[in-house]
Amino acid sequence: INISVFPPSNACIGRYILNMQITSCGHTYQRCLGDFYVLFNPWCADDPVYMDNQAHREEYVLNEHGILYEGVHKHITSRPWHFGQFEDGILDICLKILDMGASYHHGSDRDHCWRNDPVHVSMVVNHMISSHTTSSIMKIPENNDYLKGTKPFSWNGSVPILQQWYNGRCRPVRYGYCGSLASVMCTVMRCLGIPSRVVTNFCFPCSIENPLGINETFDCTGKNLCGKDKLWRYHCWNESWMARRDLNQCCGDWQCLDPTPLETGRGSACSGPTWVRSIREGELDLDYDGHHMFSRVNSNYVGWLSQNNAKKTKFFCDAWPCGQHLITKSVGSEQFEDITGAYKYELGSVKNKEAYYRAYRRIHPGYCNASNCHIERELSSLKNPFLSDSGINMRLKMANCPMYGEDVQLHWLLENLRNENKTLKFNLSAQIITYSGCPMDQFWKDSVNVTLGPREVKKIPLCISYSQYGPHLCDHNIMKVVAVSDPECGEVLMVSRDIVINRPPVIVKLLSQPRLKVPCTAEISFCNPLQEDMKNCVMTLEGCGLFKEPMTIDLGTLASNQQARTIVEFTPYRLGSHQLLANFGCHKF
């Protein structure tokens, strides 16, 4: 007997047991035919997660390989990630996540009735990633201290994280960061049949007191002082595709879900789902956490100089607006797609201003009846004056793309916009900054006197050697270079540049043609570019469909310019397109 099961489009997702009742000769008994799984179906037009584009379904549901974008908005870096949603056991782990998080919104899960709604399912998954008090999948290290766990940036994929959580009796895996949290959520959502993707937002504000403003304070040397506000260099979250019945949507659209717990003034919490279009339109009353998501792509940056007498002065500076670059992996390509236009209209356009005024009135109730002009005057009073208002233009331009071990070369460009001489004293500094905006060691300081003739343009070379930044960089590959004019010269000018130090590449070379269930070999090589030994060198290899578990190779100590070559053998156990990922770590990073 062939049995076909056609569950309705509103069936609850999960594992089902199929029994057959047999009556024969006056006797009735049951026989278990087995079990089956019901998932959301983006191929079904009646399903709330229906996506009508086949190329998009292949990318956002079927593709196990992703790319995480990191760095800073002027220097975007990328690294591959294995989602692994079709690996053995991952579906059972994803359903376990729903079981563990079922009480988050619904108190009791006896009827499972909420499991046919992708909105509620996404909220449960979002909460379980890192916000659940005892059973969340992953924790973020406090104060960048991860000595009691795995380095957050050493993960290559979601599968080892989910397996460690499941096998560890659902205790949080230590440690992750926003990129791994969003990627694990993407794995779970794709596994359950919900189209999903990871998005990176550059210049991400995290402010407790002012939802639409982010403040950074510096001292007279250019050192970034640690305050309540943090300007993250980048932040990753998840987007999932679904039709929101609670918003009377008849067609699917992207919904924003941020699994990283962020401080909101009422404690830390994850955010979403928030309809991306409502963020662009400033319609914050429509959705969950709309005001939080709007502020994360529309906040205004303000830079301050703190002097010895505790007085604060606004800089003359050209600040990069928050949330001006949002990207995700392109469909069927290794390149990124700029999706900033989905979150906000073009900066300065009429629609952009209208959406901002609309959101401002909802975030600040005291302005609910204020005119647009009143709000605009309030915003203008909060912003930094432009450098050009002082008669000087400045910028820091990279002269090279430094690799770990190389000196950082910059050109400091200054232009006098006036018909008179300008003489200024500047303090220069460089400081390590974490991706989440926490200032670390200030390792370089200098002072320069600059004289500019009328309308003169001057280019001053700057060099920061590896011997100066190397001992301080550690796992954080971002530094901030700042030039601040001396307050005694009058108006306080500031220019800054975030610089990413690229890590040395790991080279992977296949030595034989991969075939299903046939041993294959690959050569993994890495060269130490430093003029010193690298200690505690470890290579971690991972590949869905290639390795059942990640492989760790201890390389010991690598001398200066020494190249390490390792031959590894693996047996592909699943058909499809696979990636072999190699991650290198040592005492330096």
Q: What is the DSSP letter of 60?
A: I
Residue 243 and residue 48 in contact, taking contact as beta carbons nearer than 8 Å: yes
Instruction: Name the token pair of 291.
Output: 């005001």
State how far the Cα of 490 lies from the Cα of 480, in Å rounded to an integer.
24
Name the residues annotated as catalytic. 178, 235, 258
Residue 455 and residue 508 in contact, taking contact as beta carbons nearer than 8 Å: no
SS3 state at 384: coil
State how far the Cα of 227 lies from the Cα of 172, in Å rounded to an integer.
29
Residue 185 and residue 207 in contact, taking contact as beta carbons nearer than 8 Å: no
Residue 42 and residue 54 in contact, taking contact as beta carbons nearer than 8 Å: no
Cα 524 off chain centre by: 28
- Give the count of beta carbons closer than 10 Å to the beta carbon of residue 152: 22
Q: Provide the greatest CA pair distance for the chain.
A: 110
One-letter amino acid for residue 188 of the chain = V
Q: How far is CA 12 from CA 39, 121, 138, 581, in A?
A: 8, 10, 27, 36
State how far the Cα of 137 lies from the Cα of 174, in Å rounded to an integer.
9
Helix or strand (DSSP H, E) at 261 = strand 253-263
Ramachandran quadrant class, 391 (left: phi over 0; alpha: psi -120 to 50; beta: rest): left
Three-state SS sequence of 493-561:
EEEEEEEECECCCCEEEECCCCECCECEEEEEEEECCCCCCEEEEEEEEECCCCCCCCEEEEEEEECCC
